[in-house]
């Protein structure tokens, strides 16, 4: 990158709370948002991590799919924290890049049920605008009045991280001065829950849902389906400082690779994740010994955690970084996860605090040897941290974030 990319604002809507503050407090408390979910009764797994209902909100939001509602709410928080007001910026120089795995799949399912039970006459005219995958980015651009690039990225559970990479590329190319980079998904639906259960990806620990998502733990048996949104405001550092903004962190490097191995399983040796990590570190002008912390993908599935643990153990054998996974607390938020966890990584740097991995208690042979933060938060100065994201289809994205003082 010719100019460093500054993170000047962030917003979160997660099962841990609506807003970056409530989400951060929830993560640091070490509990889990997983609960029994009556909306999934009758399916193979009836628990999830849901976003809590807002105390209030604009009535017009009813017409949007939840994934778009989450995005509009988180984006407003991110812009406020960045000190940006859409009425005052050059709208043609602002990009919107939103990652999603499934778009408005909940709307599509609900309208299809109506079609089958009551006929086409009951279909909502908002069906297409609510579920088309590009519409979250389109609606956000409409809401903010931006006329720069408006894109949607879809790389399964790496989508939010891919959105951040795409935003960096647009900024580096001079296609925009400000980028709103986000990931959002609302896949806690009967169809999605049943499909993930059919793949064997979901935890079956329904008798104690709050202990079901157990990243890297010996007794992990799958993830808990979640929903939410994360938003980062990205700018070239000179642009941010020229308008008086103080960067919270710098996005100093990124790497994106493809496993080309299997539709749902990671490469058994983590080849794609290793390559993405090396690319992110090269972009940051750093080596493995410079990494203080990793926000792992950490899904709580047997295969993913084992492969990711092996990569971390091998690459950082001389100086193991601290490791945490937000999915123990928030569940797996699918296409939102990469953006949510990127924001959590930025907060980790800003607070000098690593939140614990909820429900991690005992490593097994595949995850032993990692410095996993558990039971309680850890005070730690973090100058350089990585955020891992992996997705079905073999997508790997690694983001490198640094403290603003990082040379």
Task: Return the number of other C-beta atoms located less than 10 Å from residue 40's C-beta.
Answer: 20
Q: What is the pLDDT of residue 2?
A: 66
Using one digit for the tens of pLDDT, what is the confidence trace for 296-342?
999 999 999 999 999 999 999 999 999 999 999 999 999 999 999 99
Q: What is the pLDDT of residue 56?
A: 57
Q: What is the pLDDT of residue 73?
A: 95
Residue 1 confidence (pLDDT) above 50: no
Residue 270 confidence (pLDDT) above 70: yes
Mean of the per-residue pLDDT values of the chain = 96
- Residue 77 and residue 182: Cα distance in Å, rounded? 12
* Averaged pLDDT for residues 35-49: 97
* Averaged pLDDT for residues 129-154: 96
Residues 6+ apart with CB under 8 A from 114: 122, 123
- Residue 83 and residue 97: Cα distance in Å, rounded? 19
Q: What is the pLDDT of residue 63?
A: 79
Using one digit for the tens of pLDDT, what is the confidence trace for 160-203?
999 999 999 999 999 999 999 999 999 999 999 999 999 999 99
- Residue 101 and residue 183: Cα distance in Å, rounded? 9
The band of 58, judged by pLDDT with boundaries at 50, 70 and 90, is low
Residue 55 confidence (pLDDT) above 90: no
Q: pTM for the whole thing?
A: 0.97
Active centre residues (catalytic): 157, 297, 332
Q: What is the pLDDT of residue 57?
A: 60
Using one digit for the tens of pLDDT, what is the confidence trace for 214-228?
999 999 999 999 999
* Averaged pLDDT for residues 23-29: 98
Closest Cα to residue 340, out of 2, 17, 5? Answer: 17
Q: What is the pLDDT of residue 96?
A: 98
Q: Per the structure block, which two tokens stand in for 115?
A: 């079609």
Residue 377 confidence (pLDDT) above 80: yes
């Amino acid at each position: 990158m010719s100019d460093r990319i500054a993170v000047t604002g962030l917003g979160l809507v997660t099962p841990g709370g609506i807003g970056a503050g409530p989400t951060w407090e929830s993560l640091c408390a070490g509990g889990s948002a997983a609960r029994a979910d009556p909306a999934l009764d009758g399916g193979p797994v009836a628990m999830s991590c849901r976003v809590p209902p807002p105390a209030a909100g604009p009535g017009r939001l009813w017409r949007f799919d939840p994934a778009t509602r989450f995005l509009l709410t988180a984006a407003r928080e991110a812009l406020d924290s960045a000190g940006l007001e859409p009425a005052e910026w050059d709208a043609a120089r602002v990009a919107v890049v939103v990652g999603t795995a499934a778009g408005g799949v909940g709307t599509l399912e609900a309208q299809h049920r109506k079609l089958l039970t009551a006929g086409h006459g009951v279909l909502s005219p908002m069906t297409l605008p609510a579920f088309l995958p590009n519409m979250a980015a389109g609606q956000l651009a409409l809401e903010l009045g931006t006329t720069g690039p408006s894109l949607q990225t879809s790389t399964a559970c790496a989508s939010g991280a891919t959105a951040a990479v795409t935003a960096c590329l647009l900024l580096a190319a001079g296609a925009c001065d400000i980028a709103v980079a986000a990931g959002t998904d609302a896949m806690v639906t009967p169809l999605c829950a049943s499909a993930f259960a059919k793949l064997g990806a979901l935890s079956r620990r329904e008798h104690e849902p709050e202990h079901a998502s157990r990243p890297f733990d010996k007794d992990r048996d799958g993830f808990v389906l979640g929903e939410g949104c994360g938003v980062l405001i990205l700018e070239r550092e000179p642009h941010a400082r020229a308008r008086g903004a103080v960067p919270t962190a710098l996005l100093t490097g990124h790497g994106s690779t493809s496993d080309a191995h299997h539709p749902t399983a990671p490469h058994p040796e983590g080849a794609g994740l290793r390559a993405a990590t090396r690319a992110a570190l090269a972009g940051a002008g750093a080596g493995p010994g410079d990494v203080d912390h990793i926000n792992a993908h950490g899904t709580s599935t047997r295969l993913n955690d084992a492969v990711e643990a092996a990569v971390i153990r091998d690459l950082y054998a001389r100086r193991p970084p601290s490791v945490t996974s937000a999915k123990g607390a928030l569940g797996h938020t699918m296409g939102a996860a990469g953006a949510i966890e990127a924001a959590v990584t930025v907060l980790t740097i800003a607070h000098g605090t690593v939140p614990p991995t909820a429900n991690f208690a005992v490593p097994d042979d595949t995850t032993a040897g990692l410095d996993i933060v558990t039971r309680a938060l850890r005070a730690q100065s973090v100058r350089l941290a990585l955020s891992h994201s992996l997705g079905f289809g073999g997508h790997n994205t690694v983001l490198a974030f640094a403290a603003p003082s990082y040379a």
